[in-house]
Amino acid sequence: MRGRLDRVTLSQTAEPITGSGRQSRDRAHGALHTKRPQYTHGEVNLVTQLWPFCVEGDRIGDCGISPNRESRTVSRNGQAALMSRTNADAAPDTLTAEASLSPGLKQRHLSMIALGGVIGAGLFVGSGAGIAAAGPSIVIAYAVSGLLVMLVMRMLGEMSAAYPSSGSFSAHAERAIGPWAGFTAGWSFWVLLCTAVGLEGIGAAKIVTGWLPGTPEWAWVALFMVVFCATNLAAVRNFGEFEFWFAALKVGAITLFLVLGLLAIAGVLPGSDSPGLTNLTGEGGFLPNGSEGLVIGLLASVFAYGGLETVTIAAAESKNPVQGVASAVRTAMWRIALFYIGSMAVIVTLVPWNSKAVVEQGPYVAALDHLGIPGAGQLMNVVVLVALLSAMNANIYGSSRIAYSLVERGQGPKALGRVSSGVPRVAVLASSVFGFVCVLLSYWRPDDVFPWLLNMIGAVILVVWIFIAAAQLRLRSRLDREAPQKLVVRMWAFPVLTWVALAGMVAIFILMARQPDTRVQLYSTGAMTLFLAAVGYAWQRARAKS
């Protein structure tokens, strides 16, 4: 997030300004020393993807100064002249600013986080509802939403490679639009991730209690929460190791699923006959529920892609963040096509779309049981459990880093920004506690407070995507003009595809408003977004006057 920076410019022979937060950068005309003032201000979406399953079975400088804020240009003899501000053109380098975080992630960690992060809990848990609504046309729904997600990832990758930051899109929104935008995107995403931690914990506990009946769900959730909270408190490399092996298991399992499915479709898997096109054209045809079914499936598929942002957050804590982000973004296309679109195509070809097992057991388990492979269904339940635990781990990590980055930019309680041994431990604890409170609310207030919370985060990911696109529109022009060497990753056909992506997001909002189930979520998320934007703007104005 970038806003306006107080800037003091000295000539080549001027004495450097001293003080905390000083940054030096050599330029052609001499040395520029910047003193940054220190302030003392204080899944149809993730919900419908996970909750039905649960119920049933950086510091980049002090910004915040308004566009009218003026800075002083100090001449060699100390005389000052007022100079109008620029937006955030002289923003300090994010990497230097966030050096207090430990660069403990290795390239292999980032590679597997990027690879396994695509295979989220929404794919395993929530895709059944989409198949039940859209039928075989769910493949089209995932292809369309996948194209939108590829554009979003390309835009985010371009900015994250140019400005690596643990605040990711939140930092980019502030840098491009203003502090209020970064505040809104960051804190709304924090609420989303923390709530998701609780939902994923409940989902994982449901699976375990199915294997061990009689054990309390809340105890399993608490155990999972303690394990991953402790993991993230210790060191960032622990998070990286957990995600490395979680991702390896998920990638291996879904790859094996695709191989078995293709063999069965081809009729060469022992003990199974090729279904041909029977399940694609029969039972009501390719669009059994018409365009309305396809729309519901499209909305369900959009929110199944949550988790792709984690790699751009994690990259800031690696030794080579630019390489990590660039690699993740450049391989996003084939990963989405293979894991999401490919697996949906295999499932609807093997199993009738209206089979009750697709919703009750989950589409992957239903497909393997349909093939008659002994124990395959239970094995896939293990994979689903791993996916949920992986999501818990990643969301505790992501939420703590987003909170840390916000606080470092003066947009949250200072306590959350305390770093110990390279880890923002207070932010980790706060994020974990918020997640567990969500779990308790699901037991204590299941009919009012908890549903309200779920509706509030219903469309947050779309709000974040809009901030990403808007920020990329502004930052790309600035980078082309001032620092083209930072464009390691470039958005395709800029700015045409950026506007196409924005139009797609607006279309999804319209579709959500037309559906009764998602309309409440849209309005609730809109209310939270407006509230956060108002608070962020008021904070920005107050800081401009200070």
pLDDT (tens digit per residue) in 268-283: 888 778 888 889 988 8
Checking if the pLDDT of 214 tops 80, the result is yes
Contact 135, 58 (CB under 8 A): no
Predicted pLDDT of residue 14: 35
Separation CA 455–CA 444 (nearest Å) = 17
Whole-number average pLDDT of the chain = 80
- pLDDT bucket at 405, cuts 50 / 70 / 90: very high
Within-domain flag for 49: no
Residue with the two structure tokens 């973004």: 329
Separation CA 142–CA 341 (nearest Å) = 6
Torsional class of 487: left (φ above 0), alpha (ψ -120 to 50), beta (otherwise): beta
- pLDDT bucket at 453, cuts 50 / 70 / 90: confident
Predicted pLDDT of residue 5: 34
Within-domain flag for 47: no
Within-domain flag for 272: yes
Q: What is the mean pLDDT of residues 428-441?
A: 91
Separation CA 45–CA 51 (nearest Å) = 10
- Smallest Cα–Cα separation from 184: which of 524, 427, 537? 537
Which structural domain, as residue segments, surrounds residue 270?
Answer: 8-42+58-545
Q: What is the pLDDT of residues 2-47, one digit of tens each?
A: 333 333 333 333 333 333 333 333 333 333 333 333 333 333 444 4
- For 19, other C-beta atoms within 10 Å of its C-beta total 11
Checking if the pLDDT of 73 tops 70, the result is no
What is the CATH classification number for the domain harbouring 229?
Answer: 1.20.1740.10
CA 466 to chain centre: 13
Predicted pLDDT of residue 48: 40
Q: Which residues contact 40 (CB under 8 A, 6 or more apart)?
A: none
Contact 258, 343 (CB under 8 A): yes
Q: Which of 15-29, 327-341, 518-532 has the lowest mean pLDDT?
A: 15-29
DSSP class per residue in 88-103? STTPPPHHHHTTTS--
Separation CA 137–CA 170 (nearest Å) = 35
Within-domain flag for 518: yes
Segment holding 474, helix H or strand E:
helix 460-482
Predicted pLDDT of residue 125: 73
Q: Which of 85-94, 152-161, 169-178, 397-406 has the lowest mean pLDDT?
A: 85-94
Separation CA 341–CA 127 (nearest Å) = 11
Q: Which residues contact 191 (CB under 8 A, 6 or more apart)?
A: 456, 457, 460, 528
Q: What is the mean pLDDT of residues 473-487?
A: 93
- pLDDT bucket at 326, cuts 50 / 70 / 90: confident
Within-domain flag for 1: no
Within-domain flag for 321: yes
Predicted pLDDT of residue 528: 95
Segment holding 35, helix H or strand E:
strand 30-35
Identity of residue 543:
R
- pLDDT bucket at 462, cuts 50 / 70 / 90: very high
CA 443 to chain centre: 27
Separation CA 114–CA 110 (nearest Å) = 6
Token code pair at residue 349: 């070809």
Which of 118-122, 179-183, 387-391 has maximum average pLDDT? 179-183
Within-domain flag for 443: yes
Q: What is the pLDDT of residues 293-324, one digit of tens each?
A: 999 899 888 888 877 788 888 888 888 888 88
Within-domain flag for 50: no
Q: What is the mean pLDDT of residues 394-407?
A: 92
Predicted pLDDT of residue 173: 95
Separation CA 284–CA 54 (nearest Å) = 30
Separation CA 341–CA 544 (nearest Å) = 48
Predicted pLDDT of residue 19: 37
Separation CA 124–CA 189 (nearest Å) = 22
Q: What is the DSSP letter of 409?
A: T
Contacts 24+ apart (CB under 8 A), 540-543: 540/3, 540/64, 540/65, 540/66, 540/178, 540/179, 540/180, 540/183, 541/66, 542/41, 543/39, 543/41, 543/64, 543/65, 543/179, 543/410
Checking if the pLDDT of 348 tops 90, the result is yes
- pLDDT bucket at 50, cuts 50 / 70 / 90: very low
Separation CA 85–CA 96 (nearest Å) = 23
Identity of residue 245:
W
Checking if the pLDDT of 97 tops 80, the result is no
Predicted pLDDT of residue 317: 87
Question: Who has greater pLDDT, 64 or 172?
Answer: 172
Q: What is the 3-state secondary structure (H, E, C) of 512-535?
A: HHHCHHHHHHHHHHHHHHHHHHHH
- For 73, other C-beta atoms within 10 Å of its C-beta total 14
Number of domains in the chain: 1
Q: Which residues contact 476 (CB under 8 A, 6 or more apart)?
A: 158, 487, 491, 494, 495, 498
Q: What is the pLDDT of residues 229-288, one digit of tens each?
A: 999 998 888 888 988 998 889 888 889 999 999 999 998 888 778 888 889 988 888 999
For the whole model, what pTM was predicted?
Answer: 0.80
